Structure 1
Amino acid sequence: MELIEYGVIDGLPHYFASATDEYGKRELHSVYAEDSQQAYEFFEVNGYVDIVLHSNDASAVIDGLSPDTGSMIDRMLPLDLMQNHYQTIRKLSLALLKRLYWKLRWILAVVIGFLLLFQWNRGVLGNTRGITVIAILLLLPALVAYLAARFSVYRRYKQLLDAAFWGRWQEVLDQIPRLEGMFPEYDLDARAAVALSALGRLDEGLELMQPYADSSRVPRWIYWSRLADLYFYANDEEQIQNCVRLAAEDAPELPIVKLGHAHILIQFTTEYDRAKQLLEQTEKQHLDQQCKLSLQRFKGNLELKLGNYQGAKEYFLVCQQGIQELLASQPAALHMMQPGMQLDFDVNQAYFAIALAELGDRAQAEEMYQQALPRLQALGYQRIMDRYAKAIRS
């Protein structure tokens, strides 16, 4: 699937979407827009149907800040990585090799044709030296493809995300210097700040985030949302709520902001009516794949708080199945989503186990909970572990 890109606008959020045109052809598209709703409407107005957003407003903002490396290999690599899901270096190499051969097909044809013509004119067609040169020309793209896959910056970034989503905080700090200049400075600094906070160095993390407090390129809402992550790992519930409130004041209509606000209200307050209202408003908007699934989980979280365990179970089941289908389908533009989706799956699994325990299905609850437990322990999700312990005892 080729990537179709519409007008690069520096600093504007960058969205990916799959859509079908009037001729029935389905393609991966890339568009710069003010927000996810505008991005969706762009395709709608231009006659596309079956529109599926792959980017939420947060990921689109970060992608819009990405520096241009100017490397042909790196410009070709992301789409191949999306389609191959980082599974193995071999698969990445083959995907890139296919692209390289296609890009270089005319150059290779001309060069090889010239060599054959030269040999024919000299009466040495098919000699060993000529065959060796042609073989080298044909094999060189394979070497380039392997090296690009083996040392790709995107693969390194995937390793950074894996470390972050498994709570290997020192590894996060060690990985970041290798990616400087290749990914948005804000994204790398924010991830470093979260790692510092999780390691008990909150003040250092806040200091690292300070330059972005009044940045013209980083939206205020995303600054406050990331700051809430720092306070989460510092176990400061008051500051978490304050940051989320400020993010909501800055961008009250963005789906991802509404979801985050509702989630915090459910987790840390008793403002369940307000949380329900936010979830209902969000459901009426155009959502990307990940936000759609988060909406189901947060609905389940709300039902848990209200004591409706059967309703909670049903929402968690929808979320679980949705994540499994999304990961199995390997849609384009999932290149940076996989680690986060796996994290979401484990967290949803834990809440699913809580609902099952409350309903008396302890055997299945324990089986599901044990699958999610390594992630909960790695990230220090004590609140979820305590809630399960309470449910399984009752």
Structure 2
Amino acid sequence: MPDYLATVRDADGRETTVNVEADTADEAVRMLREQGFEEVVLHTDDVMSRYSNQRKVAADFSPRDWVQLRSLPPGLGLFLIVAANSYRKLAFWMILLALVVGFSVFRGGPLNWLDWSCLGVLAFPAVFALGIALFSRGVPYRAMMDALHWGRWEEAISQADAMGSKVPAETIGFEKARALAALGRLDEARDLVKPFDDERVMPRWLYLSRLANLFDIINRHDDAIALFEQALELAPDNAVIMLGLANRLILHRRDHRRARQLVAEARTHALSDETAPMADLLDGLILLEEGAPRDALPVVEAAYRVYRRRRHRFLGYVSLGQAAVSLARVHSALGDRDLAVKLYAKVRPRMVAVGSSLVARYDREIGLL
């Protein structure tokens, strides 16, 4: 069953971060409120809850640790939390060893072999944490995702093949399939992910939404939208699917009416602090398409600031890229071409690298042509 992380506050104002098993985000929030919590901030959505796996490492990483990991650069965050937990568990011995070394320093004499041994033991948890941070599965995964998002398809495939069992097979499979599709090997890509079309591996709505990414990467956006429509039929209360579909409709069909309906419906369900900024960004894009850039500006700016703070996370810079382009489009519509071009220039190279069909349109809209 999926694990949902949430920060909650009880009637006495005490705040804690918890992990709750539930079938959906809506159910997770309802269960927590039934337990008497008055404020619930969800940290995982209906997709990420299937892969957070915090319960598997609960002895070393509390729910609070897991959430804090997201607020720090990946390597630094993992190092700090592993080191802190190690020192906390060994606090008595660490204090004792520190006192031994401190006594020698206080005497003013040279450190002896015992002092240096104590220092070595004191340093070991930090060295151990550094090794965990440097050789965690997140390092090669980030390298693979970086290659994907800069259009280095062969490199992404090589990185995926080297991942082995460090990451769930379906996660690697779909990322490798995207690279294959981009290289013109769509049939091979679809064959690669076909085994994951199994309810024992993932719900069909999730399979279809991931399959849509294969068509997005080759600019067959109508096919991607059709797959999201099918996913929504299977999971009509799933806010992640609603927002994913709304995003594609507003970007590729400029269908602000349907997009507005979908975002409004998504907001009636539980949104995590990861998905809520996307709903805000879509609200801004809808206002832009409706011819109200001045109203769109504060909405898009707020979403942009959120993504700026989260740029170090997995895929965070991709969301930041969309937010930056959206903000550039708003400023262009308001007549501030210099700022629009400055924002767009930060993102355009990556869009060109992956062959995005939106480049030509945005070039005209922002005034590069």
Q: Report the TM range for the smaller structure's normalisation.
A: 0.7 to 0.9
TM-score by length of 1: 0.79
Residue 310 of structure 2, aligned match among 327, 341, 347: 327
Q: 2:154 aligns with which of 157, 163, 170?
A: 170
Q: Could you tell me how far apart the structure 2 residues matched to 1:244 and 1:368 are? A: 30
Q: Which has the higher contact order (CA 8 A, sep 6+)?
A: 1
Give, in angstroms, the shift of residue 141 of structure 1. Answer: 2.3
2:26 corresponding residue in structure 1: 37
Measure how far apart 1:16 and its partner are: 1.7
Q: Is contact 2:284-2:299 (8 Å) kept?
A: yes
Q: Which residue in 2 is equivalent to 1:239?
A: 223
The alignment's C-alpha RMSD in Å is: 3.4
- 1:309 Cα deviation after fit: 2.9
Q: Deviations over 1:248-307 (max 9, x none)?
A: 111111111111122223234465433221111112222112321111222232233333
Q: Residue in 2 aligned with 1:392?
A: 367
Using the alignment, how far apart are the partners of 1:132 and 1:73 within structure 2? Answer: 31
Q: Deviations over 1:181-207 (max 9, x none)?
A: 232211111111112212322122111
- Given that 1:20 and 1:50 are in contact with CA atoms closer than 8 Å, whether structure 2 keeps it comes out as yes
Give the 5 Å matches for 1:68-147: 81-86=69-74, 88=76, 92-106=78-92, 128=112, 130-147=114-131
Give 1:371 shift.
2.2
Amino acid at match of 1:238: D
Percent identity of equivalent pairs: 25
Note if contact 2:219-2:356 (Cα within 8 Å) is conserved in structure 1: no
Equivalent residue number for residue 47 of structure 2: 58
**2:145 corresponding residue in structure 1:** 161
Q: Which amino acid aligns with 2:222?
A: E
Alpha-carbon separation, structure 2, partners of 1:364 and 1:272: 25
Q: What secondary structure is seen at the aligned counterpart in 2 of 1:371?
A: helix
Q: Which residue of 2 aligns with 1:334?
A: none
Whole-angstrom distance in 1 between the partners of 2:177 and 2:51: 16
Matched, 1:357 2:340: no
Q: Provide the rounded CA distance (Å) in 1 between the counterparts of 2:220 and 2:247.
A: 16
Separation of aligned partners in 2, 1:26 and 1:77: 14
Q: Determine helix, strand or coil for the equivalent of 1:15.
A: strand
- Could you tell me which amino acid in structure 2 is paired with residue 36 of structure 1? A
Q: TM-score under structure 2 normalisation?
A: 0.84
Unaligned segments of structure 2, at least 5 residues:
101-109
Quote the Cα distance in structure 1 between the aligned partners of 2:111 and 2:277: 62
* Change in CA separation of 1:366 and 1:306 when aligned onto 2, cut-off 3 Å: same
Q: In 2, distance between residues paired with 1:374 and 1:360? A: 23
Greater shift, 272-281 or 187-196, is seen at 272-281
Q: Classify 1:212/1:62 alpha carbon distance in 2 versus 1 (closer, same or farther; 3 Å).
A: same
1:41–1:392: structure 2 CA closer, same or farther, 3 Å change rule? same
Q: 1:73 to 1:308 in 2, by over 3 A?
A: closer
State the Cα distance separating 1:384 from its structure 2 match.
4.4
* Per-residue deviation, 1:37: 1.1
Aligned residues: 360
Aligned match of 1:367 = 342
> 2:133 matched to which residue of 1?
149
1:347 equivalent in structure 2: 322
SS of equivalent residue, structure 1 residue 63:
coil
Amino acid at match of 1:193: A
Q: Which is further off, 196-205 or 157-166?
A: 157-166
Give the SS at the match of 1:216. coil
Specify the alignment match of 2:281 in structure 1: 297
- CA drift of 1:357 comes to 1.7
Task: Please say if residues 284 and 296 of structure 2, whose CA atoms lie closer than 8 Å, have aligned partners that are also in contact.
Answer: yes
Q: Aligned partners of 1:142, 1:372: CA distance in 2, in Å?
A: 37
Tell me the amino acid that sits aligned with residue 173 of structure 2: D
- Structure 2 residue aligned with 1:4: none
Correspondences of 1:174-213 after superposition (within 5 Å): 174-213=158-197
| Distance (whole Å) between structure 2 residues aligned to residue 178 and residue 68 of structure 1 | 24
- The structure-2 alpha-carbon separation of the partners of 1:323 and 1:393, relative to structure 1 and needing over 3 Å to count, comes to closer
